Amino acid sequence: MQTLRYQIRGATLADEPGLLELAGFLDSVNLPNKSDEIAPILTWSEKSFAQVIPDPADHRYTFILEDTNAGRAVATSMVLGQLGRRDAPYIYLDVREEERYSASLDQHLVHKVLQIRYSYRGPTEIGGLVSHPDYRRSTQRIGSMIAYVRFLWIAMHRDRFQDEVLAELMPPLSPDGTSHLWEALGRHFTGMSYREADRLSSQNKEFIRGLFPDGDIYASLLSERAQEVIGKVGPETRGVEKLLRRIGFRYVHRIDPFDGGPHFVAPTDEISLVAGARPFYAKFGKAGSQMALVGCSYDRSPWFRAVPASIELPDPGTLTEPALSLPHEVMDHLELTEGDPVWALTMDTR
């Protein structure tokens, strides 16, 4: 079987060393840089792809983009079926403005007010996006491929996901990775460092509900540095923000209670990359002029594969049969025969 250089697939336990290396460039709750926490993530992902976990809301999918020439994982991303369950609510801080005016002083003030909220039936979440630094300037659009594949997967299995999708972006942090908001707020209510609280929250969120105040928190009482990061996007995730806005996401005035990072949300069916993914039947043909991710599901590990391919999308207005012509190397790599189901998402979809 002829292979292509890059492929995206469902992550397996064999990817632990590669995923751990990538985690070293991010180290978030979804992708911790700890060996003993990577294996459970991969196990959960395999069970999700295999649908061993009965409730799709509990599914957590991890994707690996592999350089098959080098035999290494060069990027990863994730999709979480649903944020918010009885044992682990979706927790965020609402951000709103409150106006105050004194006639006797002729003084008008606008306060930024935070209030903690909990949801037990939250949105689908996309996250865990990281590319190896050696590949970030690649002309092969590594970052776009690993970001887009999550929306291709959602479109392929729409019934497993919620009607909204959320992306939480990283805010500006201090040079040592500390959160300015947490130091000014969360530490006072929990007595824990940002890293300690962030780690614990991945397993146990009860302490937040037990220790955080339920009422309004006026941001003007916090340090200036803490106020400055509320809802702001950090320099390393501005490219992600640009992509999200382009495909239909908007900041919804919610932030992460740990670091103040903004929450971007979009109706699932209105995300251009979800709406732009289309099902076809595969057939042998020539390469076209449009770059796309072409993917399909399997009933065995790794459960899913996608590859970049040059295709020509059929005109939907003249279709009698939704057949997609694919070069032999794509058909061979994806182990397709003519008539097999396949999905495609063009890389220039808006």
For 97-128, how does the pLDDT look when each residue is reduced to its tens digit (9 = 90+)?
999 999 999 999 999 999 999 999 999 999 99
- 108: Cβ contacts below 8 Å, ≥ 6 apart: 99, 100, 101
For 322-335, how does the pLDDT look when each residue is reduced to its tens digit (9 = 90+)?
899 999 999 999 99
For 158-214, how does the pLDDT look when each residue is reduced to its tens digit (9 = 90+)?
999 999 999 999 999 888 888 999 999 999 999 999 888 888 887 788 899 899 998
> What was the pLDDT predicted at 268?
98
Mean pLDDT is lowest, of 151-155, 202-206, 232-236, for 202-206
**For the chain, percent of residues with pLDDT exceeding 90:** 74
* E strand spans, the chain: 6-10, 60-67, 72-80, 90-102, 107-119, 124-131, 164-168, 217-218, 250-255, 262-267, 278-284, 290-297, 304-311, 323-326, 341-346
As a whole number, the mean pLDDT across the chain is: 91
For 48-81, how does the pLDDT look when each residue is reduced to its tens digit (9 = 90+)?
999 999 999 999 999 999 999 988 999 999 999 9
> What was the pLDDT predicted at 185?
94
| Structure token digits, residue 70 | 């080098």
> What was the pLDDT predicted at 318?
57
pTM equals 0.92
- 266: Cβ contacts below 8 Å, ≥ 6 apart: 164, 165, 244, 247, 248, 249, 250
Q: CB-based burial of residue 272 (10 Å sphere; 0-12 exposed, 13-18 middle, 19+ buried)?
A: middle
Residue 34 pLDDT level (bands cut at 50, 70, 90)? confident
> What was the pLDDT predicted at 316?
66
